[in-house]
Amino acid sequence: MEKYGTLLAVDDNTGILTALKYCLNEVFDKVLTLDEPDKMMALLQQEAVDMILLDMNFSLGVNSGQEGIFWLQTLQKRHPDIPVVLLTAYADVPLAVKGLKNGASDFITKPWDNEELVHKLTDVMKKQRELEPLDKLESDHIQRALDKSHGNMSKAAEMLGITRQTLYNKLKKMS
Amino acid sequence: MEKYGTLLAVDDNTGILTALKYCLNEVFDKVLTLDEPDKMMALLQQEAVDMILLDMNFSLGVNSGQEGIFWLQTLQKRHPDIPVVLLTAYADVPLAVKGLKNGASDFITKPWDNEELVHKLTDVMKKQRELEPLDKLESDHIQRALDKSHGNMSKAAEMLGITRQTLYNKLKKMS
DNA sequence: CTATTGTGTCTAACATTTAGACACTATTAT
DNA sequence: ATAATAGTGTCTAAATGTTAGACACAATAG
């Protein structure tokens, strides 16, 4: 089976890390583990990590998930290209919403189902591989601009930061 | 106060629609309501709707939220430019995750807090207004391609569907 | 150590983008 | 209804960007 590069799992419970490692070794070429999130940034400088599985509570007695959100945001800033999947025991709807709105690729609750976990992670990796060609990205964005300006080409061109004439040309070539 | 165009609220409970209308009239120029989701597409042809607030359960006795996911997907296909906020009483973490991963802009549980609802909806509308200029979109995407190819310009260029030379030029201009 | 792959640079043909102009057609406000 | 405004389709000519192809050289992998 084709594997998916390097995964980094971060959780303060080393038992969980062992379980994750055992379960995910078949799916990733390499599974790194870390029980202190503040060492994460240093590690990412040294290793080429393709995906991060992140717990959300590290300080004893605090289960708000705020730490997880903090590290997620930090990762999004410094490594926007690495997908982050959140994994937490103290999950509720608002926390899941907050995690996903902050850019997490998925949100999984403990205890997890191994098969489902593998499925979700491989799903993320598959999506991660895809990269739209520049011209498709462009035409989608142009479509969005036209939608937002209700078809007004002049305004759409201004939004896009291009000349009306250029937008006109691009539209002609697209159709 | 500046208002945010037209909102469409879809819920089978007309009492809820009335409550929503009452609460959101101050924030939107126009609040449309609909108690049957299958009439939504027809309505969207006639009215220029800027945002949709969508319940997730319409058939009596079914509370899985599947109907909401279905209509969300349909909307994403036909009107990817209209943000959809989900609003449901039968919420759990997996459903929230599914909703957001299917492109919902936010996920709110019933009973809702009026102030929070208004805050979340205006937040979505504010984000909706922003549109990146084409050149920023492009340079971000190029950055992504370079990250994914670990700095290999030839491979990045191929991913992007442009010449290596062109990528080279663009990078020179960017820096 | 030797293929292979990637980089930096060049050329010359080709294409796109730009600012500016013009007549014409909606839209809006009065 | 009419005048003012904003948007469209089209044109030029100059400036800029893109392309394929070539070449020497550096880095990497077998």
Instruction: Quick: pLDDT tens for B106-119.
Output: 999 999 999 999 99
pLDDT at A11 over 80: yes
Predicted local distance difference test score (pLDDT) of residue A68? 98
* Chain C positions with any atom < 7 A from a protein CB: 5-11, 16-21
Q: Which residue is nearest to nucleotide D21 (CA to C1')?
A: B165
Instruction: Quick: pLDDT tens for B57-109.
Output: 999 999 999 999 999 999 999 988 899 999 999 999 999 999 999 999 999 99
Q: Which residue of A has its CA nearest to B167?
A: A134
H/E element, B122: helix B114-129
pLDDT at B123 over 70: yes
Nearest CA-CA distance, residue A147 and chain B, Å: 7
HSE value, Cβ hemisphere, 13 Å, CA-based, for A87: 25
Can you give the distance from the CA of residue B114 to the C1' of nucleotide C27 in angstroms?
A: 38
Predicted local distance difference test score (pLDDT) of residue A1? 66
Measure the CA dihedral B70/B29/B34/B52, to 10°.
10
Q: Any chain A CB within 8 A of the CB of B160?
A: yes
Can you give the distance from the CA of residue B123 to the C1' of nucleotide D4 in angstroms?
A: 37
Select from A81, A109, A160 the Cβ nearest to the Cβ of B148: A81
Q: Any chain B CB within 8 A of the CB of A162?
A: yes
A73: which 2 tokens? 């945001």
Read off φ and ψ for residue A113, nearest 5 degrees: -100, 120
Instruction: Quick: pLDDT tens for A115-174.
Output: 999 999 999 999 988 889 999 999 999 999 998 898 999 999 999 999 999 999 999 999
Instruction: Quick: pLDDT tens for A69-116.
Output: 999 999 999 988 899 999 999 999 999 999 999 999 999 999 999 999
A-B CB pairs within 8 A amount to: 84
Predicted local distance difference test score (pLDDT) of residue A110? 96
pTM: 0.88
Q: Which string of DSSP letters, residue by residue, matches chain B?
A: -----EEEEE-S-HHHHHHHHHHHTTTSSEEEEES-GGGHHHHHHHS--SEEEE-S--STT--SSHHHHHHHHHHHHH-TTS-EEEEESS--HHHHHHHHHTT-SEEEESSPPHHHHHHHHHHHHHHHH----HHHHHHHHHHHHHHHTTT-HHHHHHHHTS-HHHHHHHHHHH-
